[in-house]
Structure 1
Amino acid sequence: MGYDQKLIRSSSRVKCRKLHLAFVTTCCCLVSVTLLVGYSVSSTKLSSWLWNHAVPAAAPMAGGRIGSQNLDKRELKPVCDFADARSVVCELEGDIRIHGNSSSILFASSSPASWQMKPHPRKDDPNALSRVTQISVTSFTADGDAPRCAVSGSTPAIVFSTGGYMGNPFHDFTDVLIPLFITSFQFDGEVRFLVGDIAPWWIQKYEPILTGLSRHDIIDLNRDDVVRCFPHVIVGLRFHKEMSIDPSRTQNGLSMLDFGRFVRRSFALRRESATKLGADRDKKPRLLIIARRATRVLENVDQVARAARGLGFEVVVAEAGRKTNLTAFARLVNSCDGMMGVHGAGLANFVFLPMNTTLIQVVPLGQLDELARVDFGTPAEDMEMKYLQYGISEEESTLIERYPRDHTVFKDPTAITKQGWTARRSVYLLNQNVKIDVVRFRDVLIQALEFLRQE
């Protein structure tokens, strides 16, 4: 597959940092654990090679980091962070050899070490990780003990998986694309992506973002049957928070604002900032209503659209599906001055909005207010957008058609929540639609207009 299109890049170039890693002074307790996988063109031969050269796994040290002693000045120890709540990331430098087809990464080291990891930033979610291929990372001490390089180069590499909940726009961004931006931006395009569990349609959909981060062809890790050698490899993606970036954890204060600019540049979106109405009452700002068709449907979307038009908005109703041309949809979103919708993955398209726009999130019943704010509210504010959250009443929920008013679903949502995420999701996310009270909602639309009139 060729995904080597070049895009215009920011004039500020972030240089690849050199790793200066300290020696490990505390010995690790060794445990006997490793998954044996195969090598060379024949996976059977690789299994035999690793079996004969298997080493005990290095146990994580205090703080969740592991490392090996340096053999000489050329050897840098691997650094792995197992302590992060969401992601495991290992950084290797030196002589690193990757055989993708067998999910095997080998690195030169004087100290034996071996561990396994799933390079996807949702380590607290077994369901997501069940769709992620496990990687075996193992050291070798002598060149003769390692598989020969079929392809070598000076470009660093990042190994990650697009498994998990691939295809859900929210998870595409929060689990893969934003963490990939955080992890790869330092290389300014001079980095190669080795991607596991990919689907061609997914790569094509997000090609503008992927080619904006790497000038090189993407390697399909699961189908790559050659040994590739790299001087610097990062296994896994760095995760900060849902749909956003923590500037204090990045080089040069990289932020969600930078991600927004990068996305607009990648998709060649023209508008950087929303329309400023000022005192001009004749200008019509554009409002996009995300119309869900499956779950959490806004059943009276036409009434809401009429109410918005009556206040002076130009209204567009749309939704992007899996087969939607994302570039065209991104341009539609970018042409708008505000976006609204019921809590759900479609709101992830706020990343295409200009700055200073307004995101309105309609939150169904089920004590979802905090979750909604974390998923979309805070990220939108991190991109310097205005954010309005509208919690519906019982009368605006279709649950009143399914349950009596004195039911636990209304009177004690906490009891449903205590039954676990599956029960909560079934009741409040999969089987609840919304009918907005347009009179009550009018104040929210007026506030959105006022934001656009502010200088």
Structure 2
Amino acid sequence: MVTESSSSSQSSTVPTSKGMARTLAQHHQAVVGFLFGFFVILVLYTTVSGQFGSNTIVVLQSTPAEQNARASPPPPSSPASAPNNSTQDIIVHKDDVNKTMGGEHNQDNVPGTDKNNKTDANFDNMQANRTEQSGGQPVNSTITNVSDKMKEEELIRQELDQDDDKDETNVKKGPAAPPKPICDLSDPRYDICEIIGDARATNRTVLYVPPPGERSADGQEWAIKDQSRKHLEYIHKVTVRTLSAAQSLAAPECTSRHAVPAVVFAMNGLTSNPWHDFSDVLVPLFITARAFDGEVQFLVTDLQPWFVDKYRLILANLSRYDVVDFDRDAGVRCYPRVVVGLRSHRDLGINPARAPRNYTLLDFRMYIRDIFSLPPDSVGIPYKAAAASNNNATVDGEKRKPRLMLINRGHNRKFVNIPEIADGARAAGFEVVVVEPRRDLRLEEFSLAVDSCDVLMGAHGAGLTNFFFLRTGAAMLQVVPWGHMEYSAMIFYGVQAKEMNLRDVEYSIAAEESTLYEKYGKDHPAVSDPESIHKQGWQLGMKYYWLEQDIRLNVTRFAPTLHQLLRTLGE
């Protein structure tokens, strides 16, 4: 019995041990499976949250030179423009960065700059993270939105010539962009250079010392004619140089430092003729320097003392600082900004679309009148102003007449019968003042004389440039010489008169009113066929029609023009 019991007990123990082992193995598998599942869930959670846990930002980086040029970051988006309780995808476009960060300059609308020299941002880095939008949107919908953004980013990348195989987490900067040329030689009328930064001016030379991070092994150099007519042979050149890294270390030390910009320009050329004084120097100087509001210094090459004296009021108003003779100045003047040359849009004209603050020729005329302390434009022409104030009677009791200033040239294209012309104008109903402008004429006094007149009359020539001193509504009466000169009369004076709100009246003389008729006879080509003369070159036309010709005005033929003008002024 004992033996059987022991055998039975042992046989029953073996199955029990096997069952326990099986149970433990199953339990172990369950624990391992749980831990593995937990680990998988944890990995998935981490991956998903990493993909959708931050805002999507496309960063467009610029070169160090452009970053230095930008003074401030773009303004933040208005809070009102973002939806509540949601995050926004932010895409920074190239054009937006240019407009916001100052990377693009309209250089005809900024003083001292050129329109053709625009800084186009060199974007060479882009990073992208994705964000999960809140507000209960399905994950699939969010992934679709992110995919659309990624496509948009790809289009931007292609547009900006990005490399296709950039690492999103380790973006490497490309090579630095070459320095932007500081001189622009593309305009057919003028060359212009602009230095912003460390500019050092000495004896007809302007040096630019770049910041250490922008220096290169090689420098750049230009020879600039610093006036508005760059093709004139006798305008001497100014040297403009960007120093290399080695040259920058040996740059001449400043002997004086200035807090205001400088403009370098020449006073020679075709000056001493009033039309060229204004067309070649004063109007271009107004375009280039007026926006500085006097906070600019002039460095003048080929300085003409008579020019400084004659136009001192204009020069002193455009700049509150002493004029520097740049040919003889031995020091090294350091400025934060230097413009070399004068911008010019056309002969005696301003294109508002290219001018700072959209200046016009009318703005220039009003500016000149203000400088010379002439009456405000609101008072009207003298003839009407006198009538409005009931002061239209002269001392002897006669009715006030419109005043006509008759300008007689001293040499070519002069009136040879000036007394007869003056008498004819008086007979038509004008008060006549005869003048012969001289180069040494004091403009302070002469401007008042012109302002007191309702009509400025003269042959096509420089004397008519005094129309800047007329009031709005006054008339410029231009006598056009023989020889198909109507086009010149219009583009040099007629267009300008209309732009300045003046009345443009032109009288073209007949062949018999030209002294060429007396000198060469009616059958000479210069008299009978002016077009054949012009076809042989401008030199021949200049010889006959500009230099040799004078005018004997037929007062009878001219009288209807005066009568019509008198009626127009009275309207």
The bucket for the TM-score relative to the shorter chain is 0.7 to 0.9
Alignment of 1:3-152 (within 5 A): 21-23=118-120, 77-99=180-202, 101=203, 103-109=204-210, 110-111=215-216, 112-124=219-231, 129-142=232-245, 143-152=248-257
2:453 aligned to which of 336, 340, 345: 336
Q: Secondary structure at the match of 2:382?
A: coil
Measure, in 1, the Cα distance between the counterparts of 2:190 and 2:454.
Answer: 35
Aligned residues: 389
Alignment of 1:390-429 (within 5 A): 390-429=507-546
* Alignment check: 8 A CA contact 1:295 1:432 kept: yes
Q: Secondary structure at the match of 2:560?
A: helix
Measure, in 1, the Cα distance between the counterparts of 2:446 and 2:383.
Answer: 23
Give the CA deviation at 1:437.
1.2
Measure, in 2, the Cα distance between the counterparts of 1:15 and 1:115.
Answer: 23
1:315 aligned to which of 429, 432, 440: 432
- Per the alignment, residue 212 of structure 1 pairs with 317
* Alignment check: 8 A CA contact 2:287 2:356 kept: no
Alignment of 1:240-319 (within 5 A): 240-270=345-375, 272=377, 273-275=380-382, 277=384, 282-319=399-436
Per-residue CA distance 1:63-91 (angstroms, 9 max, x = gap)? xxxxxxx989xx98444332222111122
Give the CA deviation at 1:322.
1.4
Measure, in 1, the Cα distance between the counterparts of 2:185 and 2:413.
Answer: 36
* Alignment check: 8 A CA contact 1:194 1:218 kept: yes
**Alpha carbons of 1:18 and 1:122: their partners in 2 closer, same or farther (altered >3 Å)?**
closer
**Alpha carbons of 1:310 and 1:218: their partners in 2 closer, same or farther (altered >3 Å)?**
same
Give the CA deviation at 1:393.
0.4
Q: Secondary structure at the match of 1:244?
A: coil
Measure, in 2, the Cα distance between the counterparts of 1:234 and 1:78.
Answer: 13
- Per the alignment, residue 500 of structure 2 pairs with 383
Q: Secondary structure at the match of 1:209?
A: helix
* Alignment check: 8 A CA contact 1:245 1:255 kept: yes
Per-residue CA distance 1:411-439 (angstroms, 9 max, x = gap)? 32233223333322111111111011111
Does residue 488 of structure 2 align to residue 371 of structure 1? yes
Per-residue CA distance 1:344-378 (angstroms, 9 max, x = gap)? 11111111111111001111112211111111111
Query: Percent of aligned positions with the same letter in both sequences?
Result: 40
Measure, in 2, the Cα distance between the counterparts of 1:98 and 1:311.
Answer: 59
Give the CA deviation at 1:335.
1.1
**Alpha carbons of 1:418 and 1:16: their partners in 2 closer, same or farther (altered >3 Å)?**
closer
Give the CA deviation at 1:312.
1.8
Q: Secondary structure at the match of 1:317?
A: strand
Alignment of 1:348-363 (within 5 A): 348-363=465-480
Measure, in 2, the Cα distance between the counterparts of 1:18 and 1:408.
Answer: 49
* Alignment check: 8 A CA contact 1:15 1:187 kept: no
Q: Which has the larger radius of gyration?
A: 2
Does residue 441 of structure 2 align to residue 324 of structure 1? yes
Per-residue CA distance 1:32-90 (angstroms, 9 max, x = gap)? xxxxxxxxxxxxxxxxxxxxxxxxxxxxxxxxxxxxxx989xx9844433222211112
- Per the alignment, residue 326 of structure 2 pairs with 221
Query: Which amino acid is 1:105 matched to?
Result: V
Q: Secondary structure at the match of 1:222?
A: coil
Give the CA deviation at 1:307.
1.5
Give the CA deviation at 1:21.
4.9
**Alpha carbons of 1:257 and 1:76: their partners in 2 closer, same or farther (altered >3 Å)?**
farther
Query: Which amino acid is 1:117 matched to?
Result: I
Give the CA deviation at 1:24.
8.2
Which structure features the higher share of strand residues?
1
**Alpha carbons of 1:366 and 1:190: their partners in 2 closer, same or farther (altered >3 Å)?**
same
* Alignment check: 8 A CA contact 2:112 2:339 kept: no
Measure, in 2, the Cα distance between the counterparts of 1:115 and 1:425.
Answer: 35
Measure, in 1, the Cα distance between the counterparts of 2:290 and 2:547.
Answer: 37
| Larger RCO (CA within 8 A; separation ≥ 6) | 1
Measure, in 1, the Cα distance between the counterparts of 2:437 and 2:317.
Answer: 22
* Alignment check: 8 A CA contact 1:193 1:214 kept: yes
Measure, in 2, the Cα distance between the counterparts of 1:24 and 1:137.
Answer: 25
- Per the alignment, residue 430 of structure 1 pairs with 547
Per-residue CA distance 1:242-282 (angstroms, 9 max, x = gap)? 22211121233211111111111111222633135489893
Query: Which amino acid is 1:186 matched to?
Result: A
Across the aligned residues of Structure 1 and Structure 2, the Cα RMSD in angstroms comes to 2.5
**Alpha carbons of 1:78 and 1:266: their partners in 2 closer, same or farther (altered >3 Å)?**
farther
Q: Secondary structure at the match of 2:520?
A: coil
**Where in structure 2 are there 5+ consecutive unaligned residues?**
1-108, 123-174, 393-397
Q: Secondary structure at the match of 1:302?
A: helix
Measure, in 2, the Cα distance between the counterparts of 1:450 and 1:231.
Answer: 56
Per-residue CA distance 1:306-354 (angstroms, 9 max, x = gap)? 1211222111010221122121111111111110100111111111111
* Alignment check: 8 A CA contact 1:386 1:451 kept: no
Measure, in 2, the Cα distance between the counterparts of 1:327 and 1:131.
Answer: 31
Measure, in 2, the Cα distance between the counterparts of 1:410 and 1:17.
Answer: 48
Q: Could you tell me the TM-score, scaled by structure 1's length?
A: 0.80
Q: Secondary structure at the match of 2:222?
A: strand
Per-residue CA distance 1:118-155 (angstroms, 9 max, x = gap)? 0111124xxxx233221111111343221111111120
Q: Could you tell me the TM-score, scaled by structure 2's length?
A: 0.65
**Where in structure 1 are there 5+ consecutive unaligned residues?**
1-13, 26-69
Measure, in 2, the Cα distance between the counterparts of 1:209 and 1:17.
Answer: 18
